[in-house]
Chains A and B, each alone.
Chain A
Amino acid sequence: MLQVDDLKKSYGNLVAVNGVSLRAGAGETIGLLGPNGAGKTTTVALIAGLVRPDSGSVEIEGRRLQGDSDSIKRRIGLVPQDLALFDELTAEANLQLFAALYDLDGAAAKRAIGETLELVGLADRAHDRVKDYSGGMKRRLNLAAALLHDPQILLLDEPTVGVDPQSRNAIFDNLEILKGSGKTLLYTTHYMEEAERLCDRIIIMDHGKVVANDTLQGLYRMLPVTNLLSVELDNGQDGLRLDELQTLPGIHSARLEAGTLRVGVQDMATGTPRLLQWLVERGHLYHHVASERANLETVFLTLTGRSLRDS
């Protein structure tokens, strides 16, 4: 069980984390979603004990984290955003070192190294130098290094940055196995697809603050619209009255983007025919209609007024 209460951290005038609280139980995966600079990495650093908070607390399995050498840190495994590996050493030598940091050596270390390499699919490359690994393999080894001491809580800071889709899927498979074995996962990302796929709960952060903390479905319920309709008009915006369109029942929003009409509807079943009928009645011909489900990008846009990708 991980419990974080009202964490705050500033660097000079910059407030990096401002009152972050969260809870995560066994077998639960929590996603920390936000743009670069939102405070996700600092939150992870605070939880891992890398940075001392200005205020607030971190409790792991009911015990407050205190000091550099607090043994409760053994319950945490950190997968840093950077590839924190020694390129010049073999995978096995890297893992021997990282196992030793948690007092594992000899047969116990050997067993742990074998099991984690097996899990991430690198057992046959154990004796290769890391510099000869592909980017995806390095990412998997980066994950393995955090699993050697069998931590209950795994902090994953953007663990798939810069990897190919195949390696990304391999990492997702690994994480799902870990989740299935009852581990608590805290997963930071700015890829909404990853958060949607992996996380039981999603915490959206912006400017150091938590702006939403809910399940995926709960977040969608916050949205005024669940679907976006895009209508490509034959004659552009000539005579189109957006103000009138927005007064129709079930139509939440309407705007024109380069000859395409974008309309937010709460209910596809009733909103779509009503919109199309309105267009025909007013002589606005169209040649293509597409619908798109609202996603986390939409949630972020709604909550912050900014795009997740462009922030």
Chain B
Amino acid sequence: MVVTGVGVVSPYGIGLDCFQAGMLSGKCCLARTTDDVYPGFEGSIAQIRGLPAKDSNPRYSRTDRLAMMASQDAIANSGSDRSKFREAGIVMASTVGGLTEIDTGIAKDPAAFYQRNGNLIQASSYPVAHVADAVGERFEIRGPRCAISVACASGAMAIALAANMLLDGAAPIVLAGGSDPLCPFTLSGFNSLQALDPNPCSPFDQNRKGLNLGEGSAVLVLETLAGATARHASVLAVLRGWAMTNDAFHPTAPQNDGSGLAECIRLSMQMAEVTGDEIGYVNAHGTGTPLNDSAEANAYEAVFRGRNRPIPVSSTKSYFGHCLGAAGALEAAVTIMAIRCGALLPTLRLTNPIESPGIDWLRGDVKRQPLPLAMSASSGFGGSNTVLIFGSSLS
């Protein structure tokens, strides 16, 4: 499986180029805000500013629009015209779906909401499936399509399932990724769980206080090497291995020993036929919450114990926040960028890392070195884990 296109809409702006330039320059998009997403909210978020005016089609939610823009960018970057995508598959992830469009109606005035106040158009985008449909409609794509929602592992799992779809021969090429916008529903929910750091987060720091939410979308173009070769496409990266597991432990907390994620990493390496020594970088889930980061560090310690040198790990949520259903896809894009640029991105604001002798916590400046093989790890509420291994070449 090869990646021939990457598209991104992020707090850095629209397009892969500004995402890449922003991250490599070490720019942080997280900022403290008051009353921005809903009245009374005070904290740090990463917002996308300057989106084009709302689509003329009111059936499309903000989630749909982000996914459509990222897909457009991915298709353009794949060096192919839209006709090549006619029979493509689509796997899009989201946790928010069309909640953005009904937030104000039902929460402000439930009585009016239930009295036929003309909210049907907004409601039609409520099911998560609508995100995949919106992309399909916009680009006239006719192949198999579905949306998935597995909390914060969604974006990565969409890529894994797209790879399965290619293995099955269900489609010749697949658009896979995730999209989630900021909205009162999720911000209020994480606030109620007291999971938010009011200041820009510091993943893997001993004094970390929680996560920050961001918004965005990332979409990959996945196809078989044979398909890419046949159309003379540039291969951006090879998807060498992928795996999915579940902790089966708790609705919100990971297993403290990180065993579910550790098993997922082992399975992905088994599929990629690589050893721990060959992995040059891990783009971690790294939310900045006390429970996630310690469990994740335990997973890396368990899997990479015995390596000839500590495993380089960073969390890029310290740049653009936690984008929920889009997070795994955005971080897959970061991982591919790291391979292509030979750049290991540090975790921002990491001053006092969790003590883990087997882990090289990347901090400070961007580390420049050839990176043939890198891994992106994602986990989520409900215990879902997905790990993707990307390489610069097949071997």
The finding on whether chains A and B are genuine partners in a shared complex, rather than unrelated, reads no
Residues of A within 8 A of B (CB): none
